[in-house]
Structure 1
Amino acid sequence: MDDNQESVELLKQISRGSRDAFDPFYEKYSAFIFNIAYQVTGNRIEAEDVCHDVFLEVFQKSSQYQPDKGSVRAWLAVKTKSRSIDRLRKKKPLLIEKLEKLSLQEVQGVDLQFLKEIENHLIHDALVHLPKPQREAIYRSYFAGETHKEIAEIMKKPLGSVKSLIRYGLRNLRKQKSIFNWTESSGGGNRHEL
C-alpha cells in the first residue's frame, strides 16, 4: 500500500468516526499543515489555530476528499492555504505585518503568491490614498513583483529612495483605519491607536 492509499484508508475510517485512525493521520500531517499555515500567516499562534481548524474539518468532513482530484497531501495543502488566507482576512493587522516583513527582503516565491491570493482590492483601495510615488513603489514591489533595484531603475530614483518610499507608504497604509480591524491579533476587542 503506497503512502497516499494509506492516507485514503485512514480518511475512510475517520469518516466512519474512528478516533484510532485520526491519531496516526494527525501525526503524519501535522508538521506539513503547520508549515504551510506558518508560511502564509507568518505567525506561530495563527498557524496553530489554522492547524486546529483544518484537523477539525478533516475529522468532521473527511468524506469531502475526492481521490480523483489529487493526493491527500495536495487536498490538505489547498485546505490549509485557504483556511490561512481566510484567517488573515479576518485578522487584517496581520496583513500589514506581512507587508512590512516583505519590505525588508526581495519578494519572491511563497510571499509573492500570498500577496496575489489575498484580497488585492483591499490594498488597491488603500493605495489610492497614498502619494503617487509611494503608491507606485508599493504597487511595483508587491503586485508587479519587481525588485527594489528594478523599481529604482524604472522610477529613476536611488535605491535608498525606493526603499524609503515603500517604508513610508506602508506606514501610511497603517494609518488607514478604514481598511483594518484595529483589534489585537489574539482576537481581543481593544481598539488600538497608532
Structure 2
Amino acid sequence: MPATLRLVASDDTGDEGLADLLAACARGDRAALQRLYEATAPATFGRMLRLLRDRALAEDALHDVYLAVWRKAGQFDPTRGSAPGWIAAIARNRALDIIKSRRRDAPIEEAGDPEQWFDAVPAPDMALVTQQDVAALRACLEQLSPTARAMVQRAFFEGLSHAEVATVAEQPLGTIKSTIRRALIALRACLEP
C-alpha cells in the first residue's frame, strides 16, 4: 500500500504520519509537502468548494492554503491539535478572507435552496441516516425563518463557527448565537416524535 494511502487513515498512526510530514516541511523538504498535499488536498478542496461555491476560486484558494502550510509548517504543534485540523483551520481562514475581500456573500436571508445543503451521495458516517430522517429534517428546516435557516446552514452544513457566521452575516456574535440556539431548539421540538 502506498504511504499516502496510509496517511489518510483515521487512526493515530495517520495523524502522526501527517505531523511528521509537517515537521519535514518545516525543514524544507519539498517531497514531504507533495506527500502531505496528496494525503490531505481532496478533503481540503471539498471544504473550500463548500465554503466558496466556486470551483475556480476554490482551486486558487487551495493553492494559497498549501503555500501557507509550507510557510507555517514550523508553527504546527501536535500537542495542540491534529495535523488535519490545523490544515482545515488554515483553509477555513483563507476561505473567510476570500469571502470578506470579494464581498460576494449574499445577505444572510438569501443563503440558498435547502435542497443544495445535502450531498447527493452521503458520507460513509452518514449512511445510517435514513431517507425518512433526511426528509423530516428538511421539512423542519423549512419551518425556520430564512435568517435562522441560513445561519444553521452556515454553521452546520458549511462548517463555519458562530464567529465566522457573524463575520459573513455582518451581525453581532451574540445575535448569531441566540438565533442558532433558538433554531436548534425549534428543530429538536419539530423532530421529536
- One fold, TM greater than 0.5? yes
- Which residue in the other structure is 1:144 paired with? 179
Q: Aligned pair in 2 of structure 1 residues 103, 39: CA closer, same or farther (>3 Å)?
A: closer
- Give the deviation of 1:91 after TM superposition: 0.7
Q: Deviations over 1:97-154 (max 9, x none)?
A: 8863x242243323484675145486449xxxxxxxxxxxxx99x982477xx7xxxx
- Which stretches in structure 2 are left out of the alignment for 5+ residues? 1-11, 115-140, 142-148, 187-193
TM (normalized to structure 1)?
A: 0.57
- Which residue in the other structure is 1:96 paired with? 106
Distance 2:178 2:56 in 1: 27
Q: Aligned pair in 2 of structure 1 residues 97, 43: CA closer, same or farther (>3 Å)?
A: farther
Give the RMSD, CA atoms, in angstroms.
3.1
Counterpart of 1:96, as a letter, is A
CA contact (8 A) 1:85 1:118 kept: no
Distance 1:143 1:90 in 2: 27
- Which stretches in structure 1 are left out of the alignment for 5+ residues? 126-138, 151-194
Counterpart of 1:9, as a letter, is D
Distance 1:15 1:119 in 2: 34
CA contact (8 A) 1:15 1:63 kept: yes
Aligned with residue 38 of structure 2, among 22, 27, 45: 27
User: Number of matched residues?
Assistant: 132
Distance 2:53 2:24 in 1: 33
Distance 2:178 2:78 in 1: 35
Distance 2:57 2:108 in 1: 13
- Give the deviation of 1:78 after TM superposition: 1.2
- Which residue in the other structure is 1:134 paired with? none
Distance 2:21 2:50 in 1: 27
Q: Does residue 110 of structure 1 match 2:157?
A: yes
Q: Aligned pair in 2 of structure 1 residues 121, 51: CA closer, same or farther (>3 Å)?
A: closer
- Which residue in the other structure is 2:93 paired with? 82
Counterpart of 1:19, as a letter, is R
Identity of aligned residues (%): 22
CA contact (8 A) 1:115 1:143 kept: no
Q: Aligned pair in 2 of structure 1 residues 11, 123: CA closer, same or farther (>3 Å)?
A: closer
Q: Aligned pair in 2 of structure 1 residues 90, 47: CA closer, same or farther (>3 Å)?
A: same
Bigger Rg over Cα: 1
Q: Aligned pair in 2 of structure 1 residues 111, 5: CA closer, same or farther (>3 Å)?
A: closer
CA contact (8 A) 1:33 1:77 kept: yes
